[in-house]
Amino acid sequence: MARPGHSAWFLLVSTATLLLASGASAQGSCANATFPAGRSFARCSTLPVLGASLYWNYHAANGTAELAFRAPSATGGWVAWGINTDGTGMAGSSVFVASQSANGAVSVLMTVLESFSPSLKNGTLKFDVPVGPSAEYGGGTYTMYATVALPGNATQQNTVWQAGPLSGGAVSPHPMSGNNLKSVLRLDFLSG
């Protein structure tokens, strides 16, 4: 995958209004989502922007959550979801980024967004990922899966998500206005 340019390209949120996901979200449009055989999720949250939803099973005994993140995209686009262990917004976030090649092969990279001009180096995150990521694309929608150890064994986390275009197969900057700057949520993994 080619490296992105050095412009600020990802999620830039300086004064984000953090919302706490409410228990009511399970009654929203995420509730009836279907998944391939062998995957099911007890909780979900319809995220406030970008048409995205998060689904999970939270295991208090070991502090892990099995996740599915689902968001619409053109074939020539990428989607991302992650947790910011250091604050809010883009910088410092540990993210999963799903994209696809011209032949439709979907892959996921894990990276820490070290700045607003991140290297997108495929590596490790600031929390454990006991079950590494995978993703699928169909019907104009990406679905990414992974199991994460919630940082600090805390059920409330600053989550981020994003969507943008691919250019020559490489992740390119997302729009720097509108809903792309509102895609942050302090999520309670005990809700949904």
Phi, psi of 76 (to 5 degrees): -90, 40
Point out which span in 9-17, 41-49, 57-65, 180-188 binds ligand NAG (CB under 6 A).
Answer: 57-65
The verdict on 119 binding ligand NAG (CB under 6 A) reads: no
How many whole angstroms separate alpha carbon 169 and alpha carbon 101?
6
How many whole angstroms separate alpha carbon 192 and alpha carbon 182?
20
93 has which bridge partners?
84
How many whole angstroms separate alpha carbon 81 and alpha carbon 148?
12
Contacting ligand NAG (CB under 6 A), which of 61, 103, 105, 139? 61
Contacting ligand NAG (CB under 6 A), which of 7, 17, 101, 153? 153
Closer residue to ligand NAG (CB): 91 or 166: 166
Which residues, in sequence order, are CB contacts of 27 under 8 Å at separation 6+?
none
The verdict on 129 binding ligand NAG (CB under 6 A) reads: no
Q: What's the one-letter identity of residue 15? A: T
Contacting ligand NAG (CB under 6 A), which of 7, 17, 22, 29? 29
Q: Which residue is nearest to ligand NAG (CB)?
A: 130
Binding-site ranges for ligand NAG (CB under 6 A): 1, 29, 31-32, 59-64, 107-109, 122, 130, 147, 153
